[in-house]
Structures are given as C-alpha cells and as structure tokens.
Amino acid sequence: MKGNALAGPAAIRYMPWQVCAGWLLRAHRLCSARTSLRSLPAFARAFHDGYQGAAGRSPSSLSRWETGRVPVTQEAVRRYEEVLGLPPYSLLAAIQTVARHEGGATAAVFLRGGSGPPVSGVPGIRFESLLDRALDGGVLTGDDWDSLSRTAVHGPAHVTPGRVRSAVARRLLEETLVSDGTSWMRRFESLGRLMADPRWGPEVTAVCSGAAEQPGHVGLIEAVCALDGSPHPDAGRAVLRQLTHPTTQDSRYGALLACARKSRRRHFDAGQTRTLVDVADAILTSGPGPELSPAAVEAAAVLLHELPLTPAHCARLLRTVTHQNDTVRAIVLHGSLTDPASASVGVSRILSRLTAEVPPQTATVLSGLLDNLLHHPVADVRLYTAMLLRASPFGPAVAAALAAELRRSATARAEHRAIPLLHALRVLAGPEQRDTVANLTLERGVPAGVALAAVHALSHVGGRSPESYWRALFDHHTATIAAADQYTVVKRLVYCFAMAGELPLLTRLIEQERDRAAPARRLSVWWVSLAHHISASARR
C-alpha cells in the first residue's frame, strides 16, 4: 500500500488480456515439438502460407502480437493453432474467456472477430436448423453454439418472439453449468455474447435472474455472476437484489463477485452504488459468521477498491478490516490475497518445482500469471488465469508443482495457502493429481474449508475413483457436518458426485441413509431431473 494504512486501499493490478494472449502464442511457438518453428522468421513464413488475414505477414507483426503491444485477432489465433498442429480452440477459447472478462474496446474488437458471423459463413438454413435443435432437444456441440450465437448477434436474422430467445438462453445456461474445460469456455463465451447483445440481453438476463431465485438451482453462483457481463439496468437490479435479499449464501456470493466487474465497468447508477456501499460496509463490519463465508467477506473487501467512498468512510472501513483475518487485510492493504513478500516466496516455490523448461522470453509473464493464479483478490481472475495456464505448454508441469506443494503437511493445514492451490487444481489437475486432491477430502486434521475446497476441486479433476472412495466421502461429510454448514457442504458434495458421473450411486446412498441424507435428496433434484440431451451436449 502506498503511504500509511489510512491513505486508501492499494491498487489491484490486472494483466491486460492482449499480454496474456500474446504470451500464450509465444510460449507455444517456443515450445513447439517442431523445432524449426521456434525461430520467429521460420514461423512467420509458415504462418503466411495460406493465411488470409490483413496483418501478420512479417516477423515484426507476429512479435508485436506475442508481446501484447498490438492486440491479436481471432483469425491469427486460429492460424497459430493450425501451424502448430493444435486442436481448434485449444488456444482461442482461453483467450476469448480472458478478453470477455476484461472487456473494453480492444477486447470487443477481438471478440467480434472483425467479420461478424463466423468466417466460413452460416447460411440461413443452417441457423434455422441449429435453432430448431436448441428448442427441440437435439444435441449441440461447442461449434454449434458458437455458430448459433454469432449469427444471432451479428447476422441479419432477428429471432422472435422473446420466449424463443429465453428458451435458447435457458438451455445454454444449463449446458454451461454442467460442462467443463474447453466445452465450458465455448458455451460461456456464447452466453456472454448473447448477454451483451441489445436484442438478446434482456432475455438472457431474465433467465439468469430467474435461476438465482430458485434455492435448489445448481448454478446460483454462476447465474448471478454471469450478470456482470451486461450493462442492462435489469442485470444491475438483479445483482443488487441478491445482495439485499439473497436467495442463499451462494447467490449472495455470486452477486459480490459480479459487483467487482460491474463496478469497474461503471454499470451501476448513483442510487445502486449507494446500496452497494451500504452492503459492503455491513459485510466488512460484521465479518465472517454463520451467514457470511470468509470468501464473501473477501469479495466485499475487493469492492473497497472500486466504490466512491468519502475519506472518512474509507478510513473507518480500513480500521475495521485491520481486525479481520490476514487475507482480508492483505486484499485491502496490498491488493492481493497475501503480502508481497509471501507472494514472492509462494511463486518462487512453484517455479522451483517446475519440471518443464521455461524459455527465458516467457519467464517474466509466467511469474506474473502464477502470482495471479494464487494471489489475485478477484476470484474470476484466478479462475481464468488457471484456464490460460492449462492451455499453455506448462499446464501439466504447473499442475504437478501445485500438487507437490499441497502434499506438504504445513501447506495442507493452512487454509490461506491450501485453498488457492485447490482452486487452481480444479482447472489444471489431471488424473496424475487426482489422488492428492481426493486424499484431502477425507484426511483428518485438515481445516474444514480445505476439505470442502478439495471436494469442489475433485469435481473437475480427470480420472476415476472406486466406489469405496465415494461411499467413504459420503459417510465422512454427512456424518461430521455442522448444522450451520449443512447447505454449503451438501451442495458441494452432490455437485462432486454428479460431475463425476456418480449420480446413480448417490441416489442409492440417499435411499440407504434416508434421515441423514435428506438435505442431499433435496439438493440432488435438479441433477436427477436434468434432461439427457443437456448432459450429452455438455460433453461435446
């Protein structure tokens, strides 16, 4: 923090999306299995052959993209994937996600792609076919959603009536909630594209707002958080409603996450901002408790950096947070989850464990990304940084390093260190790290917050666990659960079973333990009633 402790919150630093994108492209070029492509002039020659874009015809053009001095285009990212022999969207999906979150003029140009509908064009009959499948229960892929949403937003067709747009948005939201990896990123981008469109935005906003009003809905955090992508007044009202009259703790947490970006993008009017100031003040003054998780208080602390507080009000809140936990203090005083010295040590420990060779040209940005992954105070930035690192050549090595750090007993028993690692492994971990995460879900002596973060992370980690593990997980977390934590713990438990494809086993366990499993029965209704075409599509 600059100056003394009452000068104001320290600035939160954001790495520009074009720097992240350029780093990802350069890292893949320098680590290419085809050593001939590692040279920039040689890569430029291969890139130029068959490339139709207006820029990128010289090594200097590519260098400006790779260093972030000039924002890259979607067409250029696709060409990088082709030349490097990478699957389509293996780079583009992560870059779209980071750019969508940052917003702004350059991100908007990139996300539009400079060509309206997809480059190949989508004939009207193709669009109508996709629309029919979306409405009639057909299976849709990530490519299908990209084509449908691009044409809906940038094409000449105008979809009416509004209930049709609502039905499409409702299905897209459901698929997004149960997808993972690149499938999730592609659907999330399609949802964001429709959310930001003046014609589709009101219906998409209403669908997300409606989901947030359902206590048993699986996507309360995600549905509310998605509203940060819309400047429409209805989106602002829905977010604030979840702050002042939340459906559950999850919906309030989603609203706090959404407010960080909406405040930064100036989506709220003066009256709404005053309401937000009052809510943040109340949360920071009361601190964590039965109705407020530590994560919610941390999200409220982030808002101090965006809200127009008077000097006296700011000084009072700063004095208040000095009595909160170390993480909340660090968010306000350092704009990070920890102090600079500890953050530097944490990043250095991960770098020292990397088994992959890191080209010197990529090392500085990689260090910054690892700092964001573990210490950035905005949860969405940590999540999208994990997705960017997973798309990089260093993803497996970073996952191995994080897991090795987590296997240290001192780390696993320190919530402020273990939980960010588990949140990162939720995206980065592969089957090789599954046992490390699974062990923490059952290990005696680890804090409850660490065990719960491990349950959530395991939902997205590759590989399988035997039935004996799932029975032990169910018994452990339903037997030791405290009444105040029941909703949060059981919801994460049900989500973990469902995402792992173990819903039939969960159903049997619920029947065997009728009394003890009553909360799980209520919270599994959404999953049990999920249409087959939704789950089938989400994997594509």
Cβ 366 vs Cβ 319: under 8 Å:
no
* Distance, CA of 351 to CA of 355 (rounded, Å): 9
Q: State the residue for tokens 């469109």.
A: 197
Cβ 141 vs Cβ 88: under 8 Å:
no
- Is residue 1 predicted with pLDDT exceeding 50? no
The vertex-532 CA angle with 527 and 535, nearest 5°, equals 65
Per-residue pLDDT, averaged over 211-218, amounts to: 91
Backbone angles phi, psi at 292, to 5 degrees: -135, 115
Per-residue pLDDT, averaged over 362-372, amounts to: 97
* Distance, CA of 337 to CA of 372 (rounded, Å): 10
How high is the pLDDT of residue 55? 61
Helix (H) or strand (E) holding 183: helix 181-195
- Is residue 360 predicted with pLDDT exceeding 90? yes
Q: Report the first-to-last Cα separation within the chain, whole angstroms.
A: 46
Q: Tell me: the pLDDT tens digits for 131-146? A: 999 999 999 999 999 9
- Is residue 430 predicted with pLDDT exceeding 80? yes
Omega of the bond prior to 161 within 30 degrees of 0, cis? yes
Per-residue pLDDT, averaged over 71-95, amounts to: 95
CA atoms within 13 A on the CB side of 80: 31
Cβ 403 vs Cβ 353: under 8 Å:
no
How high is the pLDDT of residue 310? 87
Under DSSP, the state recorded for 86 is P
When the pLDDT of each residue in the chain is averaged and rounded to a whole number, the result is 90
Amino acid at 374: L
- Is residue 287 predicted with pLDDT exceeding 90? no
* Distance, CA of 304 to CA of 296 (rounded, Å): 13
Q: What is this structure's pTM?
A: 0.93
Band of pLDDT at residue 202, cut at 50, 70 and 90: very high
Bridge partners, 513 (sequence order)? none
Q: State the residue for tokens 């260190």.
A: 417
What is the dihedral sign for C-alpha 11, 12, 17, 19?
positive
Six token digits for residue 477: 């977390």
The vertex-331 CA angle with 330 and 336, nearest 5°, equals 85
How high is the pLDDT of residue 336? 95
How high is the pLDDT of residue 5? 44
Residues 6+ apart with CB under 8 A from 351: 358, 366, 367, 370, 401
Tell me the DSSP string of 336-393. SSS-HHHHHHHHHHHHHH--S---HHHHHHHHHHHHHHHH-SSHHHHHHHHHHHHTST
Per-residue pLDDT, averaged over 207-229, amounts to: 93
* Distance, CA of 510 to CA of 481 (rounded, Å): 16
Helix (H) or strand (E) holding 238: helix 233-244
- Is residue 2 predicted with pLDDT exceeding 50? no
* Distance, CA of 453 to CA of 489 (rounded, Å): 10
Per-residue pLDDT, averaged over 68-74, amounts to: 95
Least confident range of 276-280, 385-389, 509-513: 509-513
3-class state of residue 63 by DSSP:
helix
Per-residue pLDDT, averaged over 65-84, amounts to: 95
* Distance, CA of 88 to CA of 81 (rounded, Å): 6
How high is the pLDDT of residue 120? 45
**Cβ neighbour number for residue 504 with a 10 Å cutoff:** 10
Cβ 505 vs Cβ 468: under 8 Å:
no
How high is the pLDDT of residue 155? 84
